Amino acid sequence: MMIDTSVNTQKLFEIDERIDRLVKEIELLRYVNPVNIEEEKTKFFASKYLTDPNFIYPERDFDKFKLHSEFFALPLEDIEDEMIRDLYEEIIYFYSGLIQCIETIGEGKKFYYNSLRSFGSPTEDDVENAKFILHFEDEDVTAPAFKAKYSSKDAEQVFVDYGKKYDFDFSIRHSKKMSAIAMVLNSKRALVLNENYTYSDNELAILTNHEIGVHMVTTMNALEHPLKIFSHGFPNNEETQEGLAVFSEYMSGNLTLTRLKELAYRVLAVNGLAKGYSFSRTFRLLHNSFDLDRENAFYITLRAYRGGGFTKDYLYLTGLKKIYNHYKEGKDLSNLLTGKVTLEFANHIKYLIEKGYAVPSKYITDSYSVNNNTNETINFILDNLK
């Protein structure tokens, strides 16, 4: 459908363009990852897990007051279409919350409460789901597929080769200052690999499907639309986006119990944060009570406690459950790949496509074409999560 060129439509595009300009450089993950992770890990281990780390964060390079004022000065009343106007109102409130998160990084409870407003925290059912997963026995982690053997430089070629499945280009960077082992920088169209990490074959299979197969696919699909909101993100899109990414691991046949348990540990770490536990107490909970090795226990605790308390990590498991249910109900996933969108706004996505403000997904996640999961235990777990 052709887009009309009326004055009201032009006003929508002007507002969309101004929002895009305001948020283009605001990626929370750019600022929330400490720059001294390895040094603090060494000190923490030397303290016998008793002295909490003292993390340092990157400098923030934007004017928070100017951003807030410009967001709320946007003339949303000029958008005549009520459904679209309501969506943009939610977007503005969502990004205002993210700015508050960023401006309080490293300020303890201030950041935590802002994070809580933006991402929420685990429910009792979420915690029970995590504990349910941990009851199952791991695969044989001594198998060759789980052996750590690839540096980030070695791994780069694996991502390059996998990327050839899609007709788009992206860059690959390496960093020593990140808590994740890999991540996509949306605004840079770049995949970043952790130089401090050594990857296994299984992890590379997981990450190619997760990072390129979903996060880079949605980054590239978002560029196809007349409206920029698909690139900078719908409100609360993290749960849907991470759910889609882990679901790609499942459909490709690479989702293991070990990986599911990692997501379960993340829920427990965020729950420890929500209960007011210190970094060291949550670490000891994972390491001593749940027998997680100290390296993984440290990094999972770090992910939850960075910035002062980053609650986002529990959403990987809740997002997977929602996307899995969506798939099992026979519903289409392609509209959820149109950009950084949210399952709860599925009707809005369809409406925007019908109105000509968006287009169907150009790129579809490769693993979604056929279900290659053969692990019945994984199916049983996903079918029985609350």
- Please give, one letter per residue, the 3-state secondary structure of 166-217: CCCCCEEEEECCCCCCEEEEHHHCEEEEECCCCECHHHHHHHHHHHHHHHHH
In a domain, 207, yes or no: yes
In a domain, 213, yes or no: yes
Query: How big is the CA angle at 222 (ends 260 and 368), to the nearest 5 degrees?
Result: 40
Q: How many domains does the chain have?
A: 1
The pLDDT value recorded for residue 130 is: 98
Rounded Cα distance between 286 and 297, Å, is 6
Residue 131 token pair: 């504990």
Rounded Cα distance between 355 and 82, Å, is 13
Residue 78 token pair: 């000029």
Q: Which residue has the tokens 């970094």?
A: 279
In a domain, 234, yes or no: yes
Strand 190-194 with 182-185, pairing: antiparallel
Phi, psi of 175 (to 5 degrees): -145, 145
Q: Count of CB atoms within 10 A of residue 278's CB?
A: 15
Number of residues assigned to the chain: 386
Residue 60 token pair: 């923030």
In a domain, 2, yes or no: no
What's the predicted TM-score (pTM) here? 0.92
Range of the domain at 26: 7-384
In a domain, 106, yes or no: yes
In a domain, 1, yes or no: no
Rounded Cα distance between 211 and 192, Å, is 10
**How far from 118 is each of 96, 104, 371, CA to CA, in Å?**
10, 13, 33
In our burial notation (b when 16+ CB lie closer than 10 A, e otherwise), range 165-193 reads ebeeebebebeebbbbbbbbbbeeeebbb
Rounded Cα distance between 181 and 202, Å, is 13
3 state SS of 59: coil
* Run means of pLDDT, 10 residues per run, the chain, 386 residues: 62 93 76 92 97 93 82 92 95 91 93 95 98 93 92 96 96 90 92 96 97 98 96 94 98 96 97 97 97 95 96 97 97 97 97 95 97 97 97
The pLDDT value recorded for residue 2 is: 46
In a domain, 199, yes or no: yes
In a domain, 71, yes or no: yes
Q: Where are the alpha helices (DSSP H) in 275-328?
A: 279-284, 294-305, 315-328
